[in-house]
Chains A and B, each alone.
Chain A
Amino acid sequence: MKQLLEKWGKGIGIYLALMIVFPFVMPDEYYRSVGIIIGLHAIVTIGLCLLMGLAGQISLGQAAFWGLGAYTSAVLTTKYGLSPFVGLVASAIVPGLFAFLLGRAIAGLQGYYLAMATLAFGYIVQIGITEWEPVTGGASGMISIPQVPFFGDSELSMYYLIWAIVTCVLVFSLNLMHSRVGRAFRAIHKSEIAATSMGVDVRKFKLNAFVVSGMFAGISGGLYAHYMGILDPQPFGLHESIKFLTMVVIGGMTSIWGALIGTVLIGFISEGLILLSEVIPGLQGDVDTIVFGGILVLIVMFMPEGLVPRIRSAYEKAQAKKAKETAAKTQSGERVERKAAT
Chain B
Amino acid sequence: MTELLQYVANGLVSGGIYAIVAVGFITIYNVSKVINLAQGEFLMLGGMVTVALIGMNLPYGLAALLAILAVTVIGIIMQKYIIAYVKKANPISLIILTIGISTLIRGIASFIWGKDAFSLAPITTNEPISFGGVTIATQSVWILAAVLIVLLLLWYLMEKTILGKKINACSINPMAARLMGISPTKMSMLAFAISGATGAIAGIVIAPLNVTSYDIGVLLGIKGFSAAILGGLGNPLGAAVAAFLLGIVESLGAGYVSSGMKDAIAFLVLIGMLLVKPSGLFGERSVGKGGL
Contacts and interface: CB of A to CB of B under 8 A. Distances in A.
Interface of A: 52, 56, 58, 60, 105-106, 108-113, 115-117, 119-121, 123-124, 127-128, 130-131, 238, 242, 245-246, 249, 283-297, 299-301, 304
Nearest to B92: A58
Interface in B85-103: 85-86, 89-97, 99-103
Contact of B225 (A106, A116, A292): A116
A260 B90 CA distance: 24
Nearest to B114: A284
B233 interface: yes
Given A105-B271, A105-B274, 19 more contacts: A105-B275, A112-B35, A113-B278, A117-B271, A117-B274, A120-B267, A124-B268, A246-B100, A284-B114, A285-B114, A286-B107, A292-B103, A292-B107, A294-B100, A296-B103, A297-B101, A297-B104, A299-B96, A300-B96
6 contacts: A119-B225, A120-B267, A124-B271, A238-B218, A242-B103, A246-B100
Chain B binding site: helix, strand, loop or mixed by DSSP?
A: helix
Contacts of B270: 116-117, 120
A306 B222 CA distance: 27
A296 B264 contact: no
Contact of B110 (A52, A106, A284): A284
Given A290-B111, A301-B86, A304-B89, A127 B97 contact: no
B260 A131 contact: yes
B126 interface: no
B267 A285 contact: no
Contact of B261 (A106, A131, A290, A291): A131
A123 B91 CA distance: 22
B218 A304 contact: no
Nearest to B108: A290
B87 to A, nearest CB: 11
Nearest to B90: A111
Contacts of A242: 99, 103
A116 B35 CA distance: 11
Nearest to A245: B96
Nearest to B279: A113
A268 B261 CA distance: 36
The 7 A-B residue pairs with the shortest CB-CB distance in the complex, in nearest-first order: A296-B100, A293-B104, A285-B110, A293-B103, A289-B107, A290-B107, A111-B91
Contacts of B99: 60, 242, 245, 296
A293 B242 CA distance: 30
B226 interface: yes
B105 interface: yes
B265 to A, nearest CB: 9
B178 interface: no
B165 interface: no
Given A111-B92, A123-B267, A127-B264, A116 B226 contact: yes
A112 B107 contact: no
A304 to B, nearest CB: 6
B93 A300 contact: yes
Nearest to A282: B111
A297 B82 contact: yes
Given A120-B271, A127-B263, A297 B214 contact: no
A3 B256 CA distance: 62
Given A120-B267, A289-B106, A296 B114 contact: no
A108 B275 CA distance: 9
Given A108-B278, A120-B271, A285 B91 contact: no
